[in-house]
Structure 1
Amino acid sequence: MTSVASGSRALRPPRTGRSHGQWAVDGQEPLNPNEAFKAEDNGLNVRERIEQTYAVEGFDSIPGDDLHGRFRWWGLYTQRKPGIDGGRTAQLEPHELEDKFFMLRVRTDGQVLSPAQLRALGGISTDFARESADISDRQNVQYHWIAIESVPEVWRRLEAVGLQTTEACGDTPRGFLGSPVAGVAADEIIDPTPVIREITSRWLGDTELSNLPRKFKTAITGHPSLDVVHEINDISLVGVVHPELGPGFDLWVGGALSTAPRLAERLGVFVSEADAPDVWHGVISIFRDYGYRRMRTKARLKFLLAEWGPEKFRHVLETEYLGRALPDGPAPAPARGPGDHVGVHPQKDGRFYVGAAPVVGRISGTILTRLGDLVERVGGDGVRLTAHQKLVILGVPQDGVDELVAGIEELGLTATPSPFRRSTMACTGIEYCKLAIVDTKDTATAVIAELEERLAGIELDTPISLHVNGCPNSCARIQTADIGLKGLITTDDAGANVPGFQVHLGGGLASTERDEAGLGRTVRGLRVLATDLADYVERITRRFLEQRVDSESFATWAHRVDDEELT
């Protein structure tokens, strides 16, 4: 904690009433079991036990606080045991739901994955993860079927090529979202890469920031497409040009979704590239010191911002943590172009970047390895992942573009996806996630195939995003999709309990070419069976195209029409 912060807090009267567990106000006494295990031993310390004890003695040697807690500080969650249906998700304890295998999350923090790194990621999948590999909407690579005995070798291979799982999960600064076209796009306002590198090199793995109230998500972009979904991160730095100070960043704080969605708010300050690392550190330190720790359901930064408001937040940041005022700054312009970067695009150096779409982020070790070989063969620089479960191949020479585009098609990727393949995302779902209620990846894949056939002759001049989530926690950002689907158990016509979805309609973010970010609406009682999902999406798409006024977006139409038009 900074001396400025300590001095200012010393003048505050003690809180009256019930404690929220705010360290700067209430002290650091743990108020729940989660806070207690973090106070007993920092989550970063578990790595030595994994390498020296658990990987040697096996899964059954792992105590509960490490297995269900501190392992997350190194990107490890136990995965769901196969064969447990969604109706039992809320009825069983974690140890009853979990298998003796792990999901392992590799963070990329907006970096370019070289051919060597792609092959290393692919080899880990093939050798240790049964060919599993998913691109998450946080620009992570997620493996499944990782055995505890394999973890030290996986870390060795990752770190040999400059990758890591440090603080990929847990109450920590999670993986950073960075613009996939940072440093290469011809229309870039400012390259965020130096800022991301500075922050991660200084503070990733720092024990002063490894016990936060809950997770802390960061997004930094300098591209006018606003390609890092800045409205739903705890902190976002968005490229702008100050009329006097030149290029820099606009600061947003307090965004997050889950069961209590809230969009981030601007603080109205201009952040220079030089100031950006300290500003990031100030915001995360506010969260550490003032975030609510008594109840985990209230332990995100969005709840503190809701109480304080942006004016007070800015005042505390400037006076207690930075010790100086920040200049006022402009808001970012409306997004120009889609933020997924799919397709072939010229770079500012005369080469090209190519955005490619897998199906709902699902790839494999073989695909990663062969992609690394392909990128190297055509003379490309490497690959960045996107916030939309896509990937972008950078630095492709003009004479290598056609070979690359043809090569990725052979790998099951495409630079020219159908509208629904391009705009559909899905979380992990019941296949591996202990919180999930329904299947997501396979369901979404089947729906895409159906829609590609049924709507083949329909021209969609505006994208319709379809986000499929296996539970209420919104890892697939259901409230910010045109059609967002929240998994649940419902009843069919025969009265049987079956997988289904609650529907959210008309959400969107600036990076999806919507004029203004907003959350979707729900229609009371509207639930769709998983088996009827393609029918519903086809029906609602055709109805939108019949009823839209001029060129209005799906989101505008969905908020305009009556409930019965949305069923």
Structure 2
Amino acid sequence: MPPASAKTSPTTSRPRRGEGQWALGYREPLNKNEENKKNDDGLNVRQRIIDIYSRAGFDSIDPADLRGRFRWYGLYTQRAPGIDGGKTAVLEPEELDDRYFMLRVRIDGGRLTVAQLRAIAEVSTAYGRDTADITDRQNVQLHWVRIEDVPAIWEKLEAVGLSTTEACGDTPRVILGCPLAGIAEEEVIDASEQIQQIYDEHIGSPLFSNLPRKFKTSIAGCSVHCVNHEINDVAFVGVIGPDGTPGYDLFVGGGLSTNPMFAQRLGVFVRPDQVSEVWAGVCSVFRDYGYRRLRHRARIKFLVKDWGTAKFREVLEKEYLGYALPDGPAPELDPGLRRDHVGVHRQRDGRYYVGFAPKVGRVSGTTLARIADIAEAHGSDRVHTTADQKLVILDIDEERVDSAVSALEAEGLQVNPGTFRRQTMACTGIEFCKLAIVETKARGATLIEELERRLPDFPEPITINLNGCPNSCARIQVADIGLKGQLVTNAAGEQVEGYQVHLGGGMGLNAAFGRKVRGLKTTAEELPDYVERVLRRYLEQKEDGEAFAQWVTRAGEGDLK
């Protein structure tokens, strides 16, 4: 562990506050969030929920727990109904709070058995008004949850091996993994064991329950890189090592929000048996050296940017691992592959998986129960989530594939969707989120319907991501068309819901953040017209084989408006 002594200024010899880094001796909390965490570990709130709050009701909840420590168990108060987006940044937290909660169920690696999926469905229908959203981090989010029902919900989830522990908060969030781990024909390495080991050894540990902010992990050997390693705080990416055996390349410092950065390679090779220890080392570097003074600078990406990868690697190896990691190769990227695993595809064992697309991740408990029934009826016990708000049923025998596809599509779950259904994502939006300024889910669904009607044979794989605020939960900066919710002025001079437009973002070989054109905004009402207009111009002007993002880089500003 690094020394805890505070550094002093050479001119004043008094301790400096710096960035609030523990390893440099700055242990005193420098903001309310840090003070709350110092006062009591977020993990301790579980027993208060069981013993006190669930019995005495919403009004008994300590505000420091309600708007802080509850997150350590996946609970956020949802937005009170009827508050428009113009008041999001004006009202106090208690004025935005509803008396109901969003509950996030963490699904590490996206792996669910039929029994687990049914348990989530039953919680949704019994306690969450039949709500459910598949997130772009492989979780399921429920709404309308009452504090009185939380212990019963936990009991039901935990009986099948599920948890909400550290699904939110300044903690190690859900570990992303390829939903096809162990079955994909082109897989570099099956990361299932490493994901489980990190979960077993570190999730819920007091060693990592007070980080400067959230910490997002991905571990996968997927050949199409479906967990988007480029935008995670720490990512282990499957590669073939120098000696010909599979292992991982290590990335650190990715993240979006208001200051997007792509993760950086440390240039090391990590053996599978080292992953848990190396993960703990990276997480410890963040815990001890991360910037705690200002919340907007408290992500690991800012530390990596300031230090550079050489220093980060040196500190990781010398202060935390105690040994040097060997140099290793970079992963192979393909710019043309979709990452969502939608459709019918062969597994390495000769059976098939079926990936399908709910609209913008919005489902329901009833729908999830029906999916569980379909999977079980077709001989499968595995329904996995993707990092693109999709679902995949694994292990279907070839002769039963057509029946499974028909059953899913009868529920409105398309296995062979068009571009717009397949590649439009949306965050929670103003319906439930206290940070949101505009609607997203319903508007995303409407946009899909309009574009399918207006451009029914659109041939290109365009991604359209809608976000209700600047925080980029729906990854607007790395979408072909990224839509950041804000209030805009319409033709009549009125303030209405709308979006700032980002164009030409993406990951992979051509990784780039979307282009912002000065003044390029659209009202929500005009959104379908705008997207149709820019896509038609792309089709008219594109060269052979030219992707949308490539066209955006050379298109004139007039063509993008």
TM-score by length of 2: 0.97
- Give the Cα separation in 2 of the matches to 1:285 and 1:486: 33
Match of 1:186 in 2: 185
Matched, 1:554 2:548: yes
- Give the Cα separation in 2 of the matches to 1:457 and 1:228: 28
- Give the Cα separation in 2 of the matches to 1:457 and 1:332: 34
SS of the aligned residue for 2:50 comes to helix
- Give the Cα separation in 2 of the matches to 1:195 and 1:88: 44
Q: What is the CA deviation profile of residues 285-335 of structure 1, one whole-angstrom value per residue up to 9, with x for unaligned ones?
A: 000000000110100000000100011101111111111110111100013
1:119 shift after superposition: 1.0
- Give the Cα separation in 2 of the matches to 1:272 and 1:501: 44
The answer on whether the counterparts of 2:438 and 2:485 sit within 8 Å (CA) in structure 1 is yes
Match of 1:382 in 2: 382
Match of 1:472 in 2: 470
Matched, 1:201 2:200: yes
AA matched with 1:119: R
Q: Where do 5+ consecutive residues of structure 2 fail to align?
A: 11-15
1:113 shift after superposition: 1.1
SS of the aligned residue for 1:370 comes to helix
Q: What is the CA deviation profile of residues 110-141 of structure 1, one whole-angstrom value per residue up to 9, with x for unaligned ones?
A: 15311111111111000000000000001000
AA matched with 1:163: L
Which stretch of structure 1 is more off in the superposition, 385-394 or 545-554?
Answer: 545-554
AA matched with 1:489: L
SS of the aligned residue for 1:486 comes to strand
AA matched with 1:70: R
The answer on whether the counterparts of 2:6 and 2:25 sit within 8 Å (CA) in structure 1 is no
Alignment of 1:73-222 (within 5 A): 73-222=72-221
- Give the Cα separation in 2 of the matches to 1:558 and 1:337: 19
Match of 1:58 in 2: 57
SS of the aligned residue for 2:512 comes to coil
SS of the aligned residue for 2:184 comes to coil
Match of 1:423 in 2: 423
Tell me: CA distance 1:541–1:25, structure 2 relative to 1, closer, same or farther (3 Å).
Answer: same
Match of 1:292 in 2: 291
Q: What is the CA deviation profile of residues 320-360 of structure 1, one whole-angstrom value per residue up to 9, with x for unaligned ones?
A: 11111101111000137321000000001111111100000
Which stretch of structure 1 is more off in the superposition, 327-336 or 472-481?
Answer: 327-336
1:26 shift after superposition: 2.8
1:11 shift after superposition: 9.5
Match of 2:371 in 1: 371
Runs of 4+ in 1 over 3 A off after TM superposition: 9-18
Match of 2:512 in 1: 518
Match of 2:13 in 1: none
Matched, 1:341 2:335: no
AA matched with 1:143: L
AA matched with 1:56: R
AA matched with 1:384: H
Matched, 1:360 2:357: no
- Give the Cα separation in 1 of the matches to 2:9 and 2:145: 46
AA matched with 1:345: H
The answer on whether the counterparts of 2:181 and 2:192 sit within 8 Å (CA) in structure 1 is yes
Match of 1:38 in 2: 37
Match of 1:563 in 2: 557
The answer on whether the counterparts of 1:509 and 1:518 sit within 8 Å (CA) in structure 2 is yes
Matched, 1:450 2:450: yes
- Give the Cα separation in 2 of the matches to 1:454 and 1:338: 23
SS of the aligned residue for 1:379 comes to coil
Match of 2:507 in 1: 509
Q: Where do 5+ consecutive residues of structure 1 fail to align?
A: none
SS of the aligned residue for 1:174 comes to strand
Q: What is the CA deviation profile of residues 445-484 of structure 1, one whole-angstrom value per residue up to 9, with x for unaligned ones?
A: 00100000100133x1x31100000000000000000000
Match of 1:70 in 2: 69
The answer on whether the counterparts of 2:4 and 2:24 sit within 8 Å (CA) in structure 1 is no
- Give the Cα separation in 2 of the matches to 1:98 and 1:494: 32
- Give the Cα separation in 2 of the matches to 1:15 and 1:108: 46
AA matched with 1:479: Q
Alignment of 1:250-329 (within 5 A): 250-329=249-328
SS of the aligned residue for 2:112 comes to coil
SS of the aligned residue for 1:450 comes to helix
AA matched with 2:432: Y
SS of the aligned residue for 1:110 comes to helix
1:245 shift after superposition: 4.5
The alignment yields a C-alpha RMSD, in angstroms, of 1.2
Match of 1:437 in 2: 437
SS of the aligned residue for 1:163 comes to coil
SS of the aligned residue for 2:142 comes to strand
- Between Structure 1 and Structure 2, how many residues are aligned? 555
SS of the aligned residue for 1:380 comes to coil
TM-score by length of 1: 0.96
